[in-house]
Structure 1
Amino acid sequence: MINLGKLVTEQSERSPWREALVEPGTGRRWTYSEYNAGINKAANMFLDLGVTPGDRVAILMQNSIEFMQSFFALAKIGAIVVPLNWRLQEKELEFLIGDAKPKVLVYHDVYSERVQGLDSVQSIQHLVQVNGTVPDGLLAFLDAIEAVSDSEPEIGAFDDDDLFIMYSSGTTGRPKGVVHTHRSILWSLLSNIMTVDYRVSDRYLLTMPMFHIGALLPAVITVYRSMTLVIEREFNPSSFWSLIAAERVTNSMVVPAMLLMLRKNYDPLKNDLSTLRWLLTSAAPISSELIHHYLDQGIGLIQGYGMTEVPAGFMLDPEDAVDQAGSCGKSMVHIDMKIMSEDGSECDVEQPGEIWLRGPQVMKEYWGMPEATEESAEDGWFKTGDVATVNEEGFVSIVGRIKDMIISGGENVYPAELEKVLAGIAGVAEVAVIGATSSRWGESPVAVVVREDERLSEEEIVRYAGQQLAGYKKIVAVRFVDELPRNATGKILKRLLREQFSDLRLP
């Protein structure tokens, strides 16, 4: 029977001496034996607070040992973990807490004032603060776990019992609570491990926020593969390379925007990357030029596609990165995929259509949203809402979200296709394409560009796009910005761009 919390118990029995966790910011290092003991203490603390199987416990913490300690503790006793995005505003947090209705909220001291100001905390039975001076009447995490035993708690959930509710990024609207079970996450681990080169004793640097599946899943994978997890509170481009050298890191995950920042901070004379085998990246395609830059440093880039609802999707190996630039690879092991047209038939080679995925990795449901759950499924398949093409060799390329599609003169225009072309222009650092109202065509594509070279003009971009793209796809206007709005995982929030340029009217 499957319980994700037991993974640490099993590794502590097999390799109690192996280093499990490193937190450079605090200097703490835990073996698997210490990791399991700390998890058991947290589990027994939650039990003393009256947490029972099926109860929700919210976590508002930056990356830390306490986050993982709480996650595995709650998994063991059968509670449902609700990771909260600490970048959200108070109104957004109010919604998530009101939707999940947690019995306990565990939070870092840096969020104390924010937590105290939330109306929704009045419905929470226990507030547990990690670090800092704890307000009267609240519980101090470190004091509470020291007062309990590190004995193994009774396992409270198995298999298809709920493990966590993770709220989607909400790139197109209100966030939905994605429910995963112990079984669906185990299968997601297996798909990733069977597809990606994770090895026993690897050292994985985690800088992505743990409230996102792209960070939490690798953190659990490190336990499954008996690896070491090196935890950074948050991404810092100025210390990333030196930390890889100091901690002999073998792998990590970054999004394309982070790759651009890291390129500027890399010094081959100062940074020893001899242990680093690969970096995983997702959220957006990366240019051939950026791929070549990292290959020249001896760093393999693995490009992936996944989502909160299905944490196992596609993966592009470093060996194919150059020849298949712009692709997110082929299906991972144990996941079925097909590309479907609007008429319900499977698409031909290079024909755009919606990605449908099927496998035991798919989420159980959207929390409290049966209609949305039903709309997302058909005959056992999950409909992703992403549009893609597949070439003759089976490589998948994302061309956009269905909701981001531009209809110009009756023709479907997929922003990702245009963005891939525009990313090849010298002087373009980042680009997003949105649709704007056109009196003649209904909608026309507009490029929102972050420049590396301030001399780059709108005319140059429009002219280049006109030479590379069909007439109905041509860029008719360009807007330059200092940065593109993104969510915590690096995905561009085109909803905000459309709002920003909602007054734009084109001929």
Structure 2
Amino acid sequence: MTAAHAVLTLARRGLLTPGSPLRIVRQISALRQWGYGLGGSLLSAAARSPSRVALIDPSGSISYAALSSSACSLASSLRSAHGIGPGDRVGVLCHNDLDFVLSVAALSLLGADAVLINTGFSSSQVEAVVRDHGLRLVLGSSSFDLPGLVVPSSALALASTLASASASASALEPPARPGRTVVLTSGTTGTPKGARRPNPRGPAPLVAILDRIPVRAGSRVLIAAPLFHTWGYAALQLAFGLRASVVLSPRFTPASASTLVREHGCTSVFAVPVMLSRLLEAGCVLPGVRVVAVSGSALPGDLATRFMSVHGSVLYNLYGSTEVSWASVATPAELRRSPGTAGRPPHGTRVVVLSPSGSPVPAGVVGRIFVGNSMLFEGYAGGAFPGPAAADGLLATGDLGVLDDSGLLTVVGREDDMVISGGENVFPSAVEDLLATLDGVREVAVVGVPDADFGERLAAFVVRSSTALSADEVRDHVRRLGARFAVPRDVHFVAALPRTTTGKVIKRELFGEE
């Protein structure tokens, strides 16, 4: 990434506007001292725009100056009362609220590692996270119910921690070691793994995202995606880098999202794809938004087209993973041209599609997707799991994809999801996209199941919007629009698809949903 491109991108997004010379000096000084992690970004934003609203949640609003002061106070309390310092691991179990932001910012300032715990985890999963990651403390928001939560004896309840945090903060010094963020994978295929996320070493990650997603400095941003998820956390980092005002709600509903956008004048929304489906089903709109950025799972069927027919050309789809951060972004124009596309890599990002032998495949040929950028993860915490495959400084996403002649990337499915039926390779996601266009289908998931004659066969799990829809109509729709070998022989009508809190379908649980 060239310096000229970075400056141009930051200028286009409103970050290089004139300001008080003293505040600009303090802003730059904060970044030099504390780095580009969440804590440093918060202190930098507070130095430049102290009175601007930093955060709005059900408890009220708070300025950048007040949020920065509160984070420093909590950091001081964690250090003095609990001995938390560089390298210590602390769990954060919070909904989207002020407590999450305070906790992670304070840990960043101390150089401690924040382990973001999925609020949808079962008690046994939370216990496993505490044990496997050796957490010294678990911070849970005051709005979070913790029945039956088991933590090490050294951990304290959040209520006492936050109460002590009201004490005056002693002077903090930049830690000798920057704190890291550990994001737990979704666990859709088994035990969640803790991916160690690096701290940004400069503005390159901010520039990369802003290169393709035009969020403006100082704007109001609703983050509906869970903050414990890579996409929600990235949105928070991006918002602080833009000195934007963040709007949060502990739980997403279509009505609440529409109300928050209207009441607070949000012009950008960060969400996961299933939230768009829920908005359309409920007939709720996001008035006045200019950017709706989604990530975390594939955009099914014609969802992009249907959403933009209501909201206009505002939808941006980021493809990435916990391990590689971002890979590519599809703009509204690209999504109108190809609703299922993952778009193009931002400036400074490299995406290649390789054959099993590791050589690049021609345009139009399916291969393994590899990504290179400045925020590739540092490995899984504890080293209990092998990392993804690497090639020439690039990491595999675990997905199969294809590049067209113009450079647009399309993800066709997970490497381990491909079904071989009667010698034919079938990608379940392609069948899902076909069925998503059938009247009467609300949601659908397709998987491979063992078959004595063909090795595997396809099974479709369909949530109907009309009870009149039959299994034969499902098969006929695929037979008419797709390949003969892509027709699902098994069709199961279910009340709902099992999903993670970020909207991904948990396919291993499908057979328990009938």
Same fold (TM over 0.5): yes
Match of 2:330 among 306, 311, 316: 316
Preserved contact between residue 461 and residue 492 of structure 2 (Cα < 8 Å)? yes
| Other-structure match for 1:153 | 172
The residue aligned with 2:28 is: none
Is contact 1:3–1:75 with CA below 8 Å preserved after alignment?
A: no
Within the candidate set 392, 404, 411, 2:424 is matched to 411
Tell me what 1:504 maps to. none
Query: Which residue pairs with 1:460 in the alignment?
Result: 473
Deviates more, 1:376-385 or 1:99-108: 376-385
In the alignment, the residues of structure 1 paired with residue 40 and residue 138 of structure 2 have an alpha-carbon distance, to the nearest angstrom, of 23
SS in 2 for 1:312: strand
Q: Report the equivalent of 2:193.
A: 176
Q: Aligned letter for 2:66? A: E
- Match of residue 87 from structure 2: 54
Deviations 1:4-61 (A, max 9, x none): 11111111111111111111x22x1111111111111111111112011000111111
2: CA distance between counterparts of 1:256 and 1:185? 30
1:111 Cα deviation from its structure 2 partner: 3.0
Q: Which runs of 5+ in 1 are unaligned?
A: 131-138, 502-507
Contact 2:99 2:140 in 1 (8 A): no
Mapped partners of 1:493, 1:59: distance in 2: 24
Instruction: Note if contact 1:351-1:389 (Cα within 8 Å) is conserved in structure 2.
Output: yes
Aligned to 2:53: 19
Match of 2:71 in 1: 39
Counterpart secondary structure, 2:386: helix
1:86 match? 119
Partner of 2:403: 390
Following the alignment from structure 2 to structure 1, what is the Cα–Cα distance between the partners of residues 202 and 301? 31
* 1:372 counterpart SS class: coil
1:423 is matched with which residue?
A: 436
**What is the distance in 2 between the residues matched to 1:19 and 1:293?**
30
> Residues of 1 paired with 2:433 and 2:171: CA distance?
52
**Aligned residue for 1:250?**
267
1:77, 1:108 → 2: CA distance? 19
Deviation by residue 1:313-346 (Cα, 9 ceiling, x = unmatched): 1111112221111111111222111111223221
The answer to whether the Cα contact below 8 Å between 2:413 and 2:428 also exists between their aligned partners in 1 is: yes
Partner residue, 1:307:
321
Distance between the aligned counterparts of 1:183 and 1:297, measured in 2? Answer: 33
The AA in structure 2 aligned to 1:183 is P
1:362 aligns to 2:362 (yes or no): no
Give the letter for the 1:125 counterpart.
S
Mapped to 2, the partners of 1:229 and 1:293 lie a distance apart of 23
CA deviation vs aligned residue, 1:393-432 (integer Å, no higher than 9, x gap):
2111111111111111222211111111111212211111
2:91 partner letter = A
1:208: Cα distance to partner? 2.0
Amino acid corresponding to residue 432 of structure 2 in structure 1: E
- Superposed CA offset, 1:176-201 (max 9, x none): 11001213796433321222111111
Structure 1 residue 256: deviation in Å? 2.6
- Tell me if the contact between 1:279 and 1:299 (Cα under 8 Å) persists in the aligned partners: no
Aligned-residue offset at 1:246 = 0.4
The residue correspondences of 1:64-463 to structure 2 (distance < 5 A) are 64-109=97-142, 110-115=144-149, 118=150, 121-122=151-152, 124-130=153-159, 139-141=160-162, 143-149=163-169, 152-157=171-176, 161-183=178-200, 187-266=204-283, 273-274=287-288, 276-282=289-295, 283-288=297-302, 291-298=305-312, 300-369=314-383, 372-373=386-387, 375-463=388-476
Using the TM superposition, name which of 313-322 and 187-196 deviates more.
187-196
Which shifted more, 43-52 or 298-307? Answer: 298-307
Gaps of 5+ in 2: 1-31
Amino acid across the alignment from 1:263: L
- Kept in 2, the 8 Å contact 1:3–1:76? The answer is no
Which range moves more in the overlay, 203-212 or 278-287? 278-287
Residues 251-278 of structure 1, C-alpha deviations (whole Å, 9 max, x = no match)? 11222322122113336xxx6713x112
Q: 1:295 to 1:157 in 2, by over 3 A?
A: farther
